[in-house]
Structure formats: structure tokens, C-alpha cells
Amino acid sequence: MVLGMGKYINRGLLNPKSDESAKVQNARSPVSSTSKKIKFRRHCRRFWCFYLIANVIVLAIFLPVFFLVAIPAVAQLVVNKSDLRLVNAEVMHPTADTVRMTLEAKVNLKLALGVRLDPVVFYAFVRSAGHENAYAGIEIPGQTIKGNYSLKVTDQLTPILNMTSWETFVSQAVSQKETALSLHGVTVGYLGVLKNHIILDKDVVMPTLNKFEGFSIANSTFLLPAEDDGTNLVANITLPNPSVLSFEVGTITLDLKSGNTDLVIGNATVKDVTLRPGNNTFPLRGVIDIGAMIGNLSEVLSSQGPAIRTGALSLTAVTRSIVSNGTLIPYYTKVLGSLPLVANVSIGDVLRNSLTHLGSSETLSDFDDKRRRGPVQLGGPVGYGVAYNQVASLKHNRHVQKMFEDEDPERRDAIIESLARYYASL
């Protein structure tokens, strides 16, 4: 029994040890975790200098990258994504190598904060030629841009930097339906205390003159007799401008050709032309060379055939020269000289306007008085009988008779015969 109990007691003594071992194992996890924290703190206190140096090195690398790369990249992206719209552009007082420019553009940075810009020169250029061949430099003063902002310069004297590029731009503006005003500039922008170099490189697409589509000559009147300076044609000429561009051109001298031929039948002058947005109408004064028309009558009639069948005369106006303030403007002369302007002039309107003018003259009154007193001897000067008869025979043409159906037949015949005598006397 004693042995038995001793065995029991011995076994009993083993069980508490087993329980303590279990307790130690159960408590090992939190104790071990706490121990790791203590060890980490001791490690940091021991090696804090190394960690401080490492953080300084990381910040020394990261901060310059952030301020010198990330922030400028964001600022440049804002500029690239901004909207730039041309509101008004004026090219005035042209000379052979300068113009005066006015520009107004709306820029929307799409940024709530204001951006202060240093003064900058925006170079206007043709994209295909590159900004290195800019035709003009436009100086913009320093200012703060915020939201939907207006950039504007007024009446700035601008030298033409590259004549080839300038002629290309003018040609595009005249002959194309739309073109781009390309701008390039480098400046410094300030966003708060942050300073960034910014490159602006934009193409502002805008409608342009489109070969003066809609060009017309109206209120054409033959002056009989001609004025002292030889003017025998007056009219109104209309040049449409669907763009926001305004050009001061000057005084335009035109060669007038019959139809689509190279036969020059006269010349005309349009003074003080400034093309502003919308339709621009100017008085035209010209000299029609009747002798050249009669001398080349077959060519004239041939070129006028399609137009005459629609009751019109076809005139082609080609720029010979452009002068502003007494100075020849070579770039406008070159560009507009390569663009023939064709207009169909109503024969009925020409005759009615001419008759209104002629009806107030003493010559026609005298001629009518002679008609009333008796028959008038017809016929032109010696050598001009054919020309006279060709014009005088118009009174028998049914189309002419229809044009004058509201007129007294005798007055109609007298007018045509008066015109025939005038042509035959030239």
C-alpha cells in the first residue's frame, strides 16, 4: 500500500510539472511578442543614427525629384490641356517689313488656383516650318491667369521676322477655308511659391477667307461720257470675310479680264481696303478699254458665251499691285495677285444703271429731242461702221427688248443708238 501510495504520490508530483509546462507554453506567445517590441525599441535606440541618415538620403533624393520633375510635369500638363481660343486678331498699318498687331485670346487653364506668368514672347509661326522660322514675335506682359482668362495685346509694332513664313501664313489665310495660328513661347509660371518653366506650343484653328467665296460686283454702271480721269465704270465690290481676322490691305489696283481669258479689257482701283469680319463692300472705279474689246470682239464674245446665256457678263479681277500709305506691300501683292476673283455681272443691271446715269445727261436729252423732231441719221464715223452696226442692232434683239419691256420703244432705240455712236467714236 505504501509502495502503491508512493507510486501514486510520485505520479501525483509529476502532474503539477506537466501543468506548469503547459502554462508556460500557453503564455509564451504574448510574452514573445512583447519581447520582440522591446528588442525593436532597443534596436532603434541603438541604431537611430543610421535610420536618420537613411531617411535624410531618401528625402534628399525624393524631394528634388518631386519639385523638379513631378510638379513641373503637372504644370506643363495643365498648360497642354488648357483651351486657347482666338477672339480677335488685327493686322494693321502694313509696311514692307512690319505690321501692327492686336491679338485677344481666351485661355481656360481649368485650374482653381491662379498662375502668375513672367513676361513672355509668343512666336507666331507656320507649323510645317517650325517655330525656329517664326514670322512674328508678340510680347505678352507678366500677369496672373486664373479660370477663363483673356490675354490681349493692342496695336503692337511687330517686325516680320521671316518673310517666307509670313507669305505662307497670308496665303493660307486667303486661300483656305480654315488655318492654324501656331504659337510658341517659353516662360516661368508661379503656382504659389512653386516656380516652374512652362512651354506653350498651341495651334489655334480658325476660319479664314476661303478665296473670298461670295465675291461679287454689284451696281455696275457705265459712265457716258467718261469722267476727266478716264473712269467709265463704277461699281461696288464685296469681299466676304468669315474669319475673326482683320487685315488692313491698302489700295488695290486690278486688271479686269474678259471671262476666263488672259485678255485684259480694262483696269480698276479699290481704295482703302480693310477686311473686317463679315461682308466688306467698297466702291470700285475703273476704265474699260472699249477699243480693246472691239478689236478682240470674237474672243470677247467667245469668253462671254456661257455667262451671256444666263444674262450676265463674266469679269475676272486680278490684283496688279497693293499700296498702303504710299508704299508697295509686296507680300499682299504676291498673294492676292495669284488669286483671280471671278464675278458675273447682270447685263440687265448694268444697262439699267447705265441708262439711269445716261438719262440724266444732256447728251441723251438732246438725242431724244432730235428723235422727236424727225428721223435721226444713223451711222458711225468712217472705219467704225461694223462696230456701230453691231451695237445698234441690239435694239432688234428679243432679249434686249425683254429687258426694256417697261421702256418706251422709241426711248429704248434712242438709248441703244446713243451707245452705238459713243462706241463708234472711240
Per residue in 275-303, pLDDT (tens digit) is 999 999 999 999 988 778 878 877 887 88
Q: What is the mean pLDDT of the chain?
A: 76
Give the pLDDT mean for 133-156: 87
Domain of 321 in residue numbering reads as 211-347
Answer whether residue 364 shows pLDDT above 50. no
Amino acid 335: pLDDT = 96
Answer whether residue 29 shows pLDDT above 70. no
Domain count, the chain: 3
Same domain, 383 and 339: no
- pLDDT top residue among 285 and 54: 285
Strand-pair category, 245-258 with 83-92: parallel
Lowest mean pLDDT among 17-26, 178-187, 241-250, 311-320: 17-26
| CATH number assigned to the domain comprising residue 129 | 2.60.40
- pLDDT top residue among 215 and 409: 215
Same domain, 161 and 235: no
How confident is residue 131, by pLDDT bands cut at 50, 70 and 90?
very high
How confident is residue 268, by pLDDT bands cut at 50, 70 and 90?
very high
**Residue 105 placed within a domain:** yes
Answer whether residue 166 shows pLDDT above 80. yes
Domain boundary among 160, 189, 207: 207
Amino acid 125: pLDDT = 95
The single residue listed with the C-alpha cell 428679243 is 398
Answer whether residue 52 shows pLDDT above 90. no
**Residue 8 placed within a domain:** no
Lowest mean pLDDT among 75-79, 115-119, 339-343: 75-79
Answer whether residue 269 shows pLDDT above 70. yes
**Residue 359 placed within a domain:** no
Amino acid 53: pLDDT = 66
Amino acid 279: pLDDT = 95
**Residue 50 placed within a domain:** no
Supply angle C-alpha 328, 330, 334, rounded to 5. 130
- Three cell numbers at 141? 506682359
CB atoms within 10 A of CB 416: 21
Same domain, 240 and 117: no
Amino acid 149: pLDDT = 77
Q: Which SS3 state, helix, strand or coil, does residue 395 take?
A: helix
**Residue 301 placed within a domain:** yes
Give the pLDDT mean for 140-157: 84
Same domain, 324 and 297: yes
Answer whether residue 72 shows pLDDT above 90. no
- Three cell numbers at 162? 521671316
Give the pLDDT mean for 342-348: 83
How confident is residue 91, by pLDDT bands cut at 50, 70 and 90?
very high
**Residue 65 placed within a domain:** no
By CB neighbour count within 10 A (0-12 exposed, 13-18 middle, 19+ buried), where does 303 fall? buried
- pLDDT top residue among 114 and 279: 279
Interacting residues of 202 by C-beta distance below 8 A, sequence separation 6+:
84, 182, 183
Same domain, 218 and 326: yes
The single residue listed with the C-alpha cell 471671278 is 342
Answer whether residue 274 shows pLDDT above 80. yes
Same domain, 132 and 234: no
Check residue 378 and report its DSSP letter. Answer: P
Same domain, 339 and 219: yes
Same domain, 130 and 248: no
CB atoms within 10 A of CB 122: 23
Domain boundary among 207, 234, 261: 207
Distance, CA of 265 to CA of 296 (rounded, Å): 9
Give the pLDDT mean for 89-96: 95
Same domain, 331 and 263: yes
By CB neighbour count within 10 A (0-12 exposed, 13-18 middle, 19+ buried), where does 182 fall? buried
Task: Give the best-scoring range by mean pLDDT among 24-28, 237-241, 258-262.
Answer: 237-241
How confident is residue 50, by pLDDT bands cut at 50, 70 and 90?
low
- pLDDT top residue among 29 and 244: 244
Check residue 95 and report its DSSP letter. Answer: -
List, for residues 311-343, the tens digit of each pLDDT value: 788 899 999 999 999 999 999 999 999 999 999
The radius of gyration computed from the CA coordinates of the chain, to the nearest angstrom, equals 44
Same domain, 199 and 245: no
Domain boundary among 328, 347, 366: 347
**Residue 268 placed within a domain:** yes
Amino acid 372: pLDDT = 43
Same domain, 250 and 325: yes
The single residue listed with the C-alpha cell 465704270 is 233
- Are 319 and 252 spatial neighbours (Cβ–Cβ below 8 Å)? yes
Answer whether residue 102 shows pLDDT above 90. yes
Amino acid 116: pLDDT = 77
Same domain, 255 and 338: yes
Tell me the percentage of the chain whose pLDDT exceeds 70: 63
